[in-house]
Structure 1
Amino acid sequence: MPRKYWSRAPYAEDKGITILLEVHAPLHFDHPWIIRHAEAYEKANTRALGFLPDMGMFLFRFPRVWKERFIRNGCPQEAADFIEKAFDDRILSEYVILDVMQNGARPQVAMAETLRHNAAFEPKRMLDFMPRIHNIHAKFYEMTDEIAEWSIPYDEVFRVLKQGGYQGYVCSEYEGNRWIEDAQEVDSLEQVRRQQLMFCRLLNETPPPALLTQ
């Protein structure tokens, strides 16, 4: 673990501050670098060190807003379909990238490269680290009219958080805007409203009136 964590942890604990390391794709809770930090946190015997997982590591479907943007950028439909299916089939990213590089041009290579940094890791892996998870970045790319996220299984994510007794915040983090702004007006507020409505449903809570007004 970097020396800076050791030096700051006692001060942070004394001040009631928690220093969180973000676990963000392509990192995940089985990654050696994260495991080494977890082991070091335990050796440090302090409550001031923890983790902040980004839900983008649980990308169970290739975001369609990504695919549509790559097609607009020149990726042929056939190549886009091939890359999406390779992601769905969990084919090793390097194999897909090699195939595309041998037969494709820059737009399809750029799309294939996203497989190198994104994968469908298991939300249940958070359970072993739950005592040190104190905040959640609820990454999302597209909230549908059915009030569900297209790519990330938030029903499973919330089931795991409940099972682990998570008591912290879940913060909306919308990143779909950058994938659609070339083709349509971005309504980030509406996307966040829908995600917050989804949270209410998953928590069996009554939505506040502000969330029910479009």
Structure 2
Amino acid sequence: MDATHSDTAGITLGSTLYSFTNEFHSRRYDLEGLVREVAARNLGPGIEIVGFQSVRGFPVVTDAFADWFKGLIAETGLTPTCLAINADALIDRNRPMTFDESVAYHARQIEAAAKLGFPVARFQYAATPEVVAKLAPLAEKLDVRLGLEIHAPHSIDHPDVIAYRETYERVGSPYLGFIPDFGASARSVPPAYKDYFKWRGIDQGMVDHALEIWEEQMEPFKRRAKFLDWAKAKGHDEVHAVDVSIIFGLFSRQPLTNWLEIMPQTVHIHGKFYGVDETTGEDPSIDYEAILPIFVAGGYRGSISSEWEGHQVSDDNGFEKVAAHLAMERRILQRAVQPV
């Protein structure tokens, strides 16, 4: 185990550039600026990018751009971990992609991942198991592992995910795997969203009722519909109700130990978070103190991208948020490798 990983239980920590959406959208940083800032602030060594967000003309990647990007990564000493790709099944609003179109659409993006030096491509469940099965030989040829992001409100035992698990078993390729998103195992709705709803002037009673439904033991995909039906019956503002309903799609309550079922097929992790408490040094909404030791004990030795999604409801500095998150992760993982 080298020095880079000796204090993090063999896990590569790092950032996804998605965390810095505020900085990118404000045009204070371009792709090169973000990469250099990640390196300068020691927010690596791992680095993940979103293809369509970061690369102009994606999935077309020219030889010149690929050479420039790989040179930048080498110069900054970072390690490519994952390229996030899109399904975009309804990119044509008049009809969904055909099977062959979807295969070709994903193939171009996987080829881009290989060309840019990424060992993993994150794909979305809308790709369909059949399309991903068809892509397995290409993934093996290019040495790019494909990871289905398991994002709230999905869980490992949701029918959509079960279909992939069954397909993986049938295909038998080690290049097909999963990317857990820790937002699927939240313990509470993040304070940032509660603050945002208050700032928006949304009725507190409606917010409180949404939080009560979020806590209920029920199928996650049903919570949103139950809340919206209730809000409509009560005559609440429809726009506000839809705003509040975002909590049902971003955070769910899958038990932490459930991740063990797919641990051998985990190819990367999205360390989703919305803030680290300055006093306690902990994430108030996702129990990293419990979840990281589960992955260490389960034998995971891959990469984790710190993914701050608070930019949806906050103009805060993403670099500072990620720095706090990485410090928290390092502290927890260092404890996990210390002799008892």
**TM-score higher than 0.5 here?**
yes
* Cα distance change of structure 1 residues 188 and 81 upon mapping to structure 2, 3 Å threshold: same
The reply to whether residue 109 of structure 1 matches residue 248 of structure 2 is no
CA distance in 2, matches of 1:12, 1:154: 32
Shift of 1:115: 4.4
Aligned length: 201
Residue in structure 2 matched with residue 132 of structure 1 by the alignment: 265
Residue in structure 2 matched with residue 199 of structure 1 by the alignment: 329
CA distance in 1, matches of 2:197, 2:141: 49
| Structure 1 counterpart of 2:192, from 65, 70, 94 | 65
CA distance in 2, matches of 1:127, 1:41: 17
TM-score (norm 1): 0.85
Q: Aligned to 1:203, what secondary structure does the other structure show?
A: helix
RMSD between aligned residues: 2.0
Q: Aligned to 1:119, what secondary structure does the other structure show?
A: coil
Residue in structure 2 matched with residue 156 of structure 1 by the alignment: 290
Residue in structure 2 matched with residue 178 of structure 1 by the alignment: 312
Contact 1:83 1:111 in 2 (8 A): no
Residue in structure 2 matched with residue 120 of structure 1 by the alignment: 253
CA distance in 1, matches of 2:284, 2:317: 17
AA in 1 matched with 2:268: N
CA distance in 1, matches of 2:149, 2:283: 22
TM-score (norm 2): 0.55
Contact 2:270 2:305 in 1 (8 A): yes
Output one character per residue of 1:136-156: Cα deviation in whole Å (capped at 9) or x when no partner: 011111111022112111122
Deviates more, 1:115-124 or 1:31-40: 115-124
Residue in structure 2 matched with residue 188 of structure 1 by the alignment: 318
Unaligned runs of 5+ in 2: 1-127, 336-340
CA distance in 1, matches of 2:232, 2:272: 29
Contact 2:231 2:241 in 1 (8 A): yes
Unaligned runs of 5+ in 1: 206-214
Shift of 1:111: 4.4
CA distance in 1, matches of 2:283, 2:209: 23
CA distance in 2, matches of 1:101, 1:195: 38
CA distance in 2, matches of 1:161, 1:21: 18
Deviates more, 1:12-21 or 1:142-151: 12-21
Output one character per residue of 1:128-177: Cα deviation in whole Å (capped at 9) or x when no partner: 11111010011111111022112111122112201210010010111112
| Structure 1 counterpart of 2:166, from 20, 27, 39 | 39
Contact 2:192 2:313 in 1 (8 A): yes
AA in 1 matched with 2:171: A
| Structure 2 counterpart of 1:11, from 121, 135, 138 | 138
Contact 1:50 1:133 in 2 (8 A): yes
| Structure 2 counterpart of 1:168, from 295, 298, 302 | 302
Shift of 1:5: 2.3
Residue in structure 2 matched with residue 209 of structure 1 by the alignment: none
AA in 2 matched with 1:99: W
Shift of 1:52: 0.8
Residue in structure 1 matched with residue 227 of structure 2 by the alignment: 96
Contact 1:60 1:152 in 2 (8 A): yes
Residue in structure 2 matched with residue 212 of structure 1 by the alignment: none
Contact 1:54 1:137 in 2 (8 A): yes
Output one character per residue of 1:46-77: Cα deviation in whole Å (capped at 9) or x when no partner: 11110111111112101111111112212122
Contact 2:275 2:325 in 1 (8 A): no
Shift of 1:30: 0.9
